Homo-oligomer: A and B are copies of this chain.
Amino acid sequence: MATDLTKETLDEVVNQRRRQQRSLDTRERILQAAFEEFAERGFEGASTRTVAAKAGVQHPLVTYHFKNKEGLWRAVVSTTSFNFGQHFQVQLADISEKDEVARLRLLQEQFIRFAAANPNFHWLMSHEGKRESDRLTWLVEERVKTYFDVVAKLIREAQKRGRYVEGDPYHLQYLFIGAVTRIFMLNAEVQQVMGRSPFSKKFVDEHVKTCCALFFREPPEKPRRR
């Protein structure tokens, strides 16, 4: 079949592929710009025209690719949530299923490093948690609960072994997430109050240590060796 293609139809195919590629690029650039815009201003505060301008495309293209503002928001949440999940999978695979404390510690450390690298992700989520909405219900059912449940299970195991602070695991997760993320989310204020950026490697390493030290406990005293 391919050998039957005339010069004209070959050109058409090439053109079509170029167009498809450009379309994908456009979609990707809108998505990236929308992520920043939604994180910065929340769903209602965000402007799809500003998104288009940031992405360097005409504003009707937003509607073309994502139907409407809500479709754009859902696409942003889906891709960023996927990235969030991916961030843990790789390293977590190296650790034995049975060592729950080690898994939890790695998970929490990775969470902190993800928060440092993606403060916008936490703004995106936080904006929706303020008040009830269809978007919040969707977010909780599809994304938040699954993550919370996984971590809660690990926290319970760690608590059994005396390696994590006491308390309701869901409650403790809100404390942990708040303690970890706020300093990155309020980075402009932090810069003015502390005179340094919370994003430097040195600071992030300190932050990992300090946050983990707050929630993890040293192993209970073993009978003395020797």
Q: Which residues of A line the B interface, CB within 8 A?
A: 40-42, 44-45, 123, 126, 128-133, 136-137, 139-140, 144-145, 148, 165, 167-168, 170-172, 174-183, 185-190, 192-194, 206-207, 210-211, 213-215
Contact = CB atoms under 8 A, between A and B. Distances in A.
B188 A131 contact: yes
Nearest to A139: B189
A14 to B, nearest CB: 44
Q: Which of A41, A145, A148, A172 has the most CB of B within 10 A?
A: A41
Nearest to A213: B165
Among A133, A167, A175, A190, max chain B CB count under 10 A is at A175
Given A130-B40, A182-B182, A193 B144 contact: yes
Contacts of A182: 174-175, 177-178, 181-182
Contact of A186 (B40, B129, B167): B129
Contacts of A214: 165, 175, 214-215
B129 A188 contact: yes
Contacts of A144: 189, 193
Contact of A170 (B176, B179, B181, B193): B193
A139 B211 CA distance: 27
Contacts of A188: 129-133, 136
18 contacts: A42-B42, A42-B45, A126-B185, A129-B185, A144-B193, A165-B214, A168-B194, A171-B183, A174-B183, A174-B186, A175-B179, A175-B214, A176-B179, A178-B178, A178-B181, A179-B179, A214-B214, A214-B215
Contacts of A133: 188
B193 A140 contact: yes
Nearest to A214: B214
A91 B197 CA distance: 35
A19 B62 CA distance: 51
Contacts of A211: 175
Given A186-B174, A211-B175, A192 B44 contact: no
Given A171-B206, A210-B172, A213-B165, A183 B178 contact: yes
Contacts of A148: 193
